[in-house]
């Protein structure tokens, strides 16, 4: 795996965001950190993509937000999945798996 | 309209401020001085304006906002060219006026049915001889009341059927 932090493949950000907040409510900074850590510091979600994406998902009704005190004692906006978001996540995950399998089938043919 | 937008803006500002604060904390944890950490966080964060703009585009009021902006822009342009504006407004006014006049004329003449019961049963009678109208005016002139008669030729026209009746003698069939 390359050590360089890479840009996200177009269209995968929503999937990553949905996956990251699936276990429970998280704030924007936490989401970015979680993605960075779990991807072994490969995937860095920039604020410029993160917040517009979160707001877009919220507008679509896939996630909701609530202001809450964070572990550091600051007020933070926590995002969590709605029922529609959970459904959308499983659909997108399924799509992604099929897509990734198809790509590797072609590349390794 | 302003309320949700303003609220959305404040919300976003607090959200971004929180992110920046957490990022600063992270750099402090890594051993930088608070001042340095703050500078680094800001540097990594970049400028906030484009983020705000983009988030604004995602807000539920984005469509309304862009319409309002378009209207404002249009009004400004109109104010800058008063002659063109006047000409445009005048021609619109005349056009709308002329149209509504013609439409209301067509409405009364062609579309609205006649104010009588069963207008489809009405017939046209084309008078062909000079006698009957003359007869009528003669009656009027002489103040004739009651029955009178006159002869004339007329065309009886009921819908598609049209048939001529020559030399009919009208005998008080019409109340005059």
- Give the chain A residue nearest B42 (alpha carbons): A47
pLDDT, one tens digit per residue, over A30-67 is 999 999 999 998 888 888 889 888 988 998 899 999 99
Q: Give the dihedral of Cα atoms A39, A43, A45, A49; nearest 10 deg.
A: -130
pLDDT band, very low/low/confident/very high, at A5 (cuts 50, 70, 90): low
> What pLDDT shows up at residue B11?
84
Span B5-36, pLDDT tens digits: 677 778 888 888 898 898 899 899 989 888 99
Q: Which residue of B has its CA nearest to A29?
A: B19
Q: Would you place residue B1 in the very low, low, confident or very high pLDDT band (cuts 50, 70, 90)?
A: very low
φ, ψ at B164 (rounded to 5°): -90, 140
Domain residue limits, chain A: 13-107
Instruction: For residue A79, give the 3-state DSSP assignment.
Output: strand
User: What CA–CA distance (Å, rounded) separates A84 from A63?
Assistant: 8
Q: How far is CA A50 from CA A27, A83, A104, B15, B26, in A?
A: 11, 21, 28, 12, 18
pLDDT of residue B40: 87
Mean per-residue pLDDT, B121-126 = 64
Give ∠ CA B96-B98-B102 in degrees, rounded to 5: 115
Q: Write out the two tokens for A100.
A: 């990734």
Q: Does the distance separating the beta carbons of B59 and A52 come in below 8 Å? A: no
Q: Do B19 and A28 touch (CB under 8 A)?
A: yes
Q: Is the dihedral of CA A12, A87, A68, A57 positive or negative?
A: positive
Q: Residue B29 in 3-state DSSP?
A: helix
| Helix H or strand E encompassing B122 | none
User: In the predicted model, what is the mean pLDDT of residues B64-93?
Assistant: 93
Check A59 against B59: CB less than 8 A apart: yes
pLDDT tops 90 at residue B42: no
Domain ranges of chain B: 2-80, 81-111, 121-171
| Alpha carbon of B70: minimum distance to chain A alpha carbons (Å) | 23
pLDDT for the residue numbered B116? 75
Q: Which one has a higher pLDDT value, B137 or B22?
A: B22
Please state the ipTM of this predicted complex. Answer: 0.78
Looking at domain A13-107, its CATH class is mainly alpha
Strands (E), chain A: 26-27, 63-69, 75-81
Q: How far apart are CA A25 and CA A77, in angstroms?
A: 9
8 Å CB contact of A48 and B54: yes
pLDDT at B65: 82
Alpha-carbon span A58 to A81, nearest angstrom: 9
Chain A positions touching B46 (Cβ under 8 A) are 46-48
DSSP of B81-108, one letter per residue? -HHHHHHHHHHHHHHHHHHHHHHHHHII
Q: Return the biggest CA–CA distance within chain B.
A: 124
Can you tell me whether residue A80 is helix, strand or coil? strand
**Closest Cβ–Cβ partner in B14, B50, B58 for A55:** B58
Asked whether B165 and B141 are in contact (CB, 8 A), the reply is no
Residues of B in contact with A76 (CB under 8 A): 15, 18
Indicate the range of A76-90, B47-61, B111-125, B150-164 predicted with least confidence.
Answer: B150-164
Tell me the nearest-neighbour CA distance from A50 into chain B, angstroms: 9
């Amino acid at each position: 795996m390359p050590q360089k932090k890479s840009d996200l493949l177009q269209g995968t950000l929503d999937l990553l965001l949905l996956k990251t907040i699936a276990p429970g409510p998280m704030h924007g900074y936490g989401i970015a950190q979680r993605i960075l850590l779990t991807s072994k510091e490969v995937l860095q979600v920039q604020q410029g993509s993160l917040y517009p994406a979160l707001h877009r998902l919220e507008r679509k009704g896939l996630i909701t937000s609530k202001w809450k005190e964070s572990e550091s004692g600051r007020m933070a906006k926590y995002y969590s999945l709605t029922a529609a978001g959970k459904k959308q996540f499983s659909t997108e995950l399924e799509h992604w798996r099929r897509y990734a399998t198809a790509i590797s089938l072609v590349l390794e043919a | 309209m302003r309320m949700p937008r303003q609220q959305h803006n404040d919300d976003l500002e607090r959200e971004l401020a929180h992110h920046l604060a957490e990022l600063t904390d992270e750099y402090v944890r890594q051993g930088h001085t608070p001042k340095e950490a703050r500078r680094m966080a800001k540097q990594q964060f970049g400028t906030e304006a484009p983020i705000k703009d983009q988030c604004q585009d995602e807000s539920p009021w984005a469509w309304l906002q862009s319409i309002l902006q378009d209207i404002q822009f249009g009004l400004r342009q109109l104010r800058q060219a008063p002659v063109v504006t006047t000409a445009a407004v005048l021609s619109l006014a005349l056009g709308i006026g002329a149209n509504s006049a013609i439409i209301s004329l067509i409405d009364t003449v062609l579309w609205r049915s006649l104010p009588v019961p069963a207008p489809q049963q009405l017939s046209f009678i084309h008078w062909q001889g000079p006698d009957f109208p003359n007869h009528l005016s003669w009656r009027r002139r002489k103040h004739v009341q009651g029955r009178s008669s006159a002869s004339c030729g007329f065309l009886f026209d009921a819908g598609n059927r049209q048939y001529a009746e020559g030399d009919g003698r009208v005998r008080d069939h019409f109340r005059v």
